[in-house]
Amino acid sequence: MESTGPTGGTVPADPDGRWLRVVMDSAFLLLLGSSLVRFLSRDQGQPRTAWVVTLFLVFGALYVLGRLLAPAPRPGTRPTTHHLVWLAAVSTVWAGLLVLAPSATWCAMPLLFTGLQSLPARTAVPLAAALTLLVVVSELRVARGGHGGHGAFNPNVVVAPLAIAAVATAVLVHLRRQAARQRVLIDDLMRTRRELAATERRAGVLAERQRLSTEIHDTLAQGLSSQRMLLQAADRVWSAEPDTARRHMRDAAEITSRSLVEARRFVHDLAPAELAGGSLPQALRTLAERTSGAGLSVDFRLDGTPGPLPERVEAALLRIAQGALANVREHAWATRAALTLTCLDDQLSLDIADNGRGFDIDRRPPPGAERGHGLPAMRVRARQSGGTLTVESTPGEGTVVSASVPLNPAP
């Protein structure tokens, strides 16, 4: 079973607390029974015997009913009004019984533990002191011979109840304060875990949004951009050069088909369609051949022999190549470009070089002229694969984009 805790969360049932209550209630019933037997064996036949036995039974019934109908509060919560009323009533009945039958003295122990367990320390400690004082007074009465004692004073009559009560009070108060500190620490830990989980969810959402953004930019957006350029070129020469216009239309239709395949692949598992059933060098060679045309020639070169590569690394390098060549076609005004994949023992490098107009890397573009996704998306992909991306360019001398990814990244 579970209940609502002081902080609003659910608190599981405490099996140790249940066993503690069973032990305390069993001890009370045993002490009550032994006290009644002791009273009957010593004071039977007196006029008040029937009243005392009745009071014993009322005391026991009141204790049992209270434990059932007004249970002690859970640690860290306030006692209910019913529990406080029951504790006051059962303590009053015990005090009255103690006057008539000092043999009921040791029934104070379960009451002492019940009060210390359920009441705040500022209330439980005075209650423990009052119960202990009544026990000492009752034991002194017995020691003086009023109820069958031998008249010789025994210092343990005073010292033992005080010592037992002091130790029990100190231990239980210490345990309660320690439990309170542990509850605070647990609440802090649970709150920190919730905050950490929320932070991780937010970070995951942002990372996924970034990934989807770069995927869309490198696939659908680039395909649409190429189609627009080809359709615009076809429109310009539609009347003067119909063959060229039709070639542009066929190229646009081919790009549309590839974009459709890429979109379906994108929806399915976000993996590049070019890598399905092929290797990275094959995909780069196909990309170079497909990008060539309409005044731009792209060559592919492979240095070294690549071994098995992680799919994420292959996809990242292919997307970087696609993004770089898209920039070459749209912005560089280049006639030649080269893709070079270099395979070393511990590193894989991809260079995309062109002979276009280049640009000043240190000069910031004017407001509104910044495309925002090309180079930043490439850098994100390289960084997510544990690598780096560098750009070298000079106005009038072309551009070189280099991506390097370690094959055995440090953990």
Domain of 314, in residue numbers: 279-363+370-411
Q: Could you tell me if 148 and 285 lie in one domain? A: no
Q: Is residue 110 situated within a structural domain?
A: yes
What does R_g of the chain's alpha carbons equal in angstroms? 43
> What digits encode the pLDDT tens for the residues 22-47?
887 788 788 878 888 887 877 665 66
> What digits encode the pLDDT tens for the residues 192-220?
888 887 887 777 667 767 767 776 776 77
| CATH number of the domain that residue 355 is part of | 3.30.565.10
Q: Could you tell me if 12 and 146 lie in one domain? A: yes
Q: Final residue of a domain: which of 96, 127, 154? A: 154
Q: Final residue of a domain: which of 154, 181, 215? A: 154
> What digits encode the pLDDT tens for the residues 263-306?
766 655 555 666 766 788 998 998 899 888 778 899 999 998 88
| Residue predicted with more confidence, 170 or 241 | 241
Minimum mean pLDDT among 100-104, 155-159, 166-170, 277-281: which range? 155-159
Q: Is residue 225 situated within a structural domain?
A: no
Q: Could you tell me if 148 and 287 lie in one domain? A: no
What integer is the mean pLDDT of 11-17? 57
Q: Is residue 78 situated within a structural domain?
A: yes
Full DSSP string of 220-272 = IIHHHHHHHHHHHHHHHTTTT-HHHHHHHHHHHHHHHHHHHHHHHHHHHH---
Q: Final residue of a domain: which of 113, 129, 154? A: 154
Torsion sign (Cα): 66, 69, 71, 77: negative
275, 287 Cβ separation under 8 angstroms: no
Helix (H) or strand (E) holding 210: helix 156-216
Q: Is residue 195 situated within a structural domain?
A: no
Q: Is residue 107 situated within a structural domain?
A: yes
Residue 67 pLDDT > 50, yes or no? Answer: yes
| Residue predicted with more confidence, 390 or 5 | 390
pTM score of the predicted model: 0.42
User: How many domains is the chain built from?
Assistant: 2
